[in-house]
Amino acid sequence: MKKIRLLDLQTVSPLRSQTCYHAAAEVLAEGSPDTIILVSPASPYVCVGFHQDLEREVDREYCQNRGWPVFRREVGGGAVYLDAGQVFIQWIFQPSSLPASVEEKFRIYVEPIVRTYHALGIAAEFRPINDIHVAGKKIGGTGAANIGRAEVVVGSLMFDFDKTAMARVLKVASEKMRDKIFQSLEQYMTTMREELGRLPERNRVTDLYLAACAEVLGAEIVPGSWSEAEENRARLIDERFLTPEWLEPRKAMERPGVKIHEDVHVVESVFKAPGGMIRLTARLRREKVDGLTISGDFTIFPRTVVPELENALIGLNRGCPDICRRVEAVYDRLKIESPGLNPSHWEAAFAGLPVV
Fold match between 2-247 and 258-351?
A: no
- Window from 19-33, 138-152, 257-271, 303-317 with minimum mean pLDDT: 257-271
Task: Please state, in angstroms and as integers, the Cα–Cα distance from residue 49 to each residue in 146, 163, 257, 277, 300, following that order.
Answer: 14, 19, 24, 12, 11
Average pLDDT, the chain: 92
* Local confidence band at 345 (pLDDT 50, 70, 90 cut-offs): very high
Cα first-last separation, the chain = 63
CATH number of 2-247: 3.30.930.10
Longest dimension (CA), the chain: 69
Contacts of 175 (CB under 8 A, 6+ apart): none
The beta-strand segments (E) located in the chain are 2-12, 35-41, 45-48, 70-72, 80-82, 86-93, 124-127, 131-134, 137-141, 143-147, 150-158, 219-223, 258-261, 264-273, 276-285, 288-296
Contacts of 102 (CB under 8 A, 6+ apart): 144, 299, 301, 337, 339
For residues 38 and 66, the answer to whether their CB atoms sit within 8 Å is: no
Cα 81 from Cα 103, distance rounded (Å): 25
70 beta partners: 46
Tens digit of each residue's pLDDT (9 = 90 or more) over 156-201: 999 999 999 999 999 988 888 899 999 999 999 999 999 999 999 9
DSSP string, 170-231: B--S-HHHHHHHHHHHHHHB--HHHHHSSPPPHHHHHHHHHHHHHHHHTEEEEE----HHHH
* pLDDT score, position 253: 55
- Which residue ranges make up each domain of the chain? 2-247, 258-351
CATH number of 258-351: 3.30.390.50
Evaluate if residue 340 carries a pLDDT over 70: yes
* Average pLDDT over every residue of 229-234: 98
Amino acid symbol at 55: E
Among 262, 270, 264, smallest CA distance to 283 is for: 264
> Rounded to two decimals, what is the model's pTM?
0.86
* pLDDT score, position 254: 53
Contacts of 287 (CB under 8 A, 6+ apart): 317, 318, 356
Contacts of 241 (CB under 8 A, 6+ apart): 15, 18, 19, 71, 72, 247
For residues 339 and 104, the answer to whether their CB atoms sit within 8 Å is: no
Among 190, 185, 110, smallest CA distance to 154 is for: 110
CA-only gyration radius of the chain, Å? 21
Cα four-point dihedral sign 3, 38, 208, 143: negative
Q: What percent of the chain has pLDDT over 70?
A: 95
